[in-house]
Amino acid sequence: MSFDLAARLAARRAENLYRQRPLLESPQGPEVVVDGQPLLAFCNNDYLGLANHPQVIEAWRAGASRWGVGGGASHLVIGHSTPHHELEEALADLTGRPRALLFTTGYMANLGAVTALVGQGDTVLEDRLNHASLLDAGLLSGARFNRYLHNDAASLANRLEKATGNTLVVTDGVFSMDGDIADLPALAREAKAKGAWLMVDDAHGFGPLGANGGGIVEHFGLSQEDVPVLVGTLGKAFGTAGAFVAGSEELIESLIQFARPYIYTTSQPPALACATLKSLELLRSEHWRREHLNILIRQFRQGAEQIGLELMDSFTPIQPIMIGDAGRAVRLSQMLRERGLMVTAIRPPTVPAGSARLRVTLTAAHSEAQVQLLLNGLADCFAQLGPEPSHA
């Protein structure tokens, strides 16, 4: 018996689902060089334009001079440095919670939180369109795992009726492929009515959403009682890397004791925490970044609707254009690239079959003129490709 990897790869190519890594040969930003080609990019998650910010770079450089490069050990051994601690305190302050805990990646934060809180005999209920890391965490927890209909509080209530043991309801804050936001007030009501905890992964909400960039919980004015477990990542709007969980004293202490991805991983470089402290300061003080981003989102949606593109119900920086057929989505992405525009085609299994799309992401570093260039390119490419052939 042997693994027939060649056949699996050939099948993926035949289905227009084969993925290749573009090689970025410049820093993140609107204007990049990819595989040797200068492009105007609309596909990164650097929503506030901080990934290449001079002050953030300088904070990292100064942090490395003072604290060295490597974390050296896990947090529980001797890897928990002063910058890590200061960043946790600043993130707790941002979220208005007693404590926050740093993780090396968002995937690990989700895995750590879910598997530390529930196990055999318990229940995890998740939105059908949750990020892969949340779905994997639910499956790996050993708890009874069920998915409710997307953003549907009635569907959640129905599944809560059948839940056993400690019950954790898990949702994305901003759904990464559709750009819509969770109906947190309704989900929180249903969870609280049944004594369940609500966990929100607000990876794409921190920065763009909320009056001070505090994300979806701030956007809706909800409390820690409504959303006991709040997860955020630092590699998107913060422009650096890593993730955190914010919550009560008891929650954070429990994660330190029981979250295996936290316990058994070397801490992130302390200088990275120094850089994130600076980006957090900019995120909170430079409100113009959010305001400019919202202007670009409105500009893009109005322009796309005039062209006749099928958008999704999103007021966030994630603006998907529905295509349907994976091959057609790839062709449109290639045509845009020939015009110097980089927009990624998202295909199954990342999204459901038949819902391939172009995923446009806007950032505060883009200009209105650059968004207009994208709209012009989209109009040209859709006109050239023509209507989708009928399957009747």
Determine how β-strand 144-148 pairs with β-strand 123-127.
parallel
Structure tokens at 294: 């919202």
The secondary structure element, H or E, covering residue 157 is: helix 153-160
Q: Strand, helix or coil at 48? A: coil
d(CA 138, CA 93): 29
Residue 21 known to bind ligand: no
Please pick, among 81, 141, 176, 355, the residue that the annotation labels catalytic: 176
- Amino acid identity for residue 325 in this structure: D
CB 182 within 8 A of CB 130: no
Q: Strand, helix or coil at 312? A: coil
Residue 60: which of 275, 278, 280, 270 has the closest Cα?
Answer: 275
DSSP 163-212: --SSEEEEEESB-TTT--B--HHHHHHHHHHTT-EEEEE-TTTBTTBSTT
| Residue 386 DSSP code | -
CB 38 within 8 A of CB 45: no
Please pick, among 75, 84, 204, 366, the residue that the annotation labels catalytic: 204
- Amino acid identity for residue 308 in this structure: G
DSSP 100-136: EEEESSHHHHHHHHHHHH--TT-EEEEETT--HHHHH
d(CA 76, CA 250): 17
Residue 19 known to bind ligand: yes
Structure tokens at 66: 């003072």
Residue 107 known to bind ligand: yes
d(CA 367, CA 328): 28
CB 254 within 8 A of CB 219: no
Residue 123 known to bind ligand: no
Told to judge if 292 belongs to the known catalytic residues of this protein, a careful annotator would answer: no
Residue 150 known to bind ligand: no
Please pick, among 75, 80, 84, 236, the residue that the annotation labels catalytic: 236
Told to judge if 236 belongs to the known catalytic residues of this protein, a careful annotator would answer: yes
Told to judge if 162 belongs to the known catalytic residues of this protein, a careful annotator would answer: no
Instruction: Spell 307-342 as b/e; 16+ CB within 10 A means b.
Output: eebebbebbbbbbbbbbebbebbbbbbebbbeeebb
Structure tokens at 316: 């966030």
Residue 301 known to bind ligand: no
d(CA 239, CA 206): 11
Sequence ranges of the binding site? 19, 106-107, 131, 176, 204, 233, 350
Sequence ranges of the binding site for substrate? 19, 131, 350
Sequence ranges of the binding site for pyridoxal 5'-phosphate? 106-107, 176, 204, 233
- Which residues carry out catalysis? 176, 204, 236
